[in-house]
Amino acid sequence: MTEADETARRLGIVCANADRIRGRLRRGPTGSDAVLQEVLTAVQDGRATARPVDDLHAVLQSLGDNQGLYAYGGTGSTAERGVHAAGVHRDRSGEPVYLCPADRCTRYGWPGHGPAPVCAVSGDPLRLDRL
pLDDT in tens, 49-68: 999 999 999 999 999 888 99
Question: E strand or H helix at 129, and its extent?
Answer: strand 127-130
Whether residue 84 is contained in a domain is answered as no
In the structure, what pLDDT confidence band is assigned to residue 90 with cuts at 50, 70 and 90?
Answer: very low
CA distance 124 to 65: 30
- Report yes or no on whether pTM surpasses 0.75: no
Whether residue 129 is contained in a domain is answered as no
For residue 92, what is the DSSP state? -
Q: Which tens digits make up the pLDDT trace of 12-35?
A: 999 999 999 999 999 999 999 999
Whether residue 90 is contained in a domain is answered as no
Q: How many domains does the chain have?
A: 1
Residue 118 has pLDDT above 80, yes or no: yes
Whether residue 104 is contained in a domain is answered as no
* Residue-level pLDDT at 12: 93
The fraction of the chain above a pLDDT of 90, given in percent, is: 63
Whether residue 130 is contained in a domain is answered as no
φ, ψ for residue 126, nearest 5 deg = -60, 150
* Residue-level pLDDT at 17: 94
In the structure, what pLDDT confidence band is assigned to residue 114 with cuts at 50, 70 and 90?
Answer: confident
Domain span at residue 28?
A: 3-72
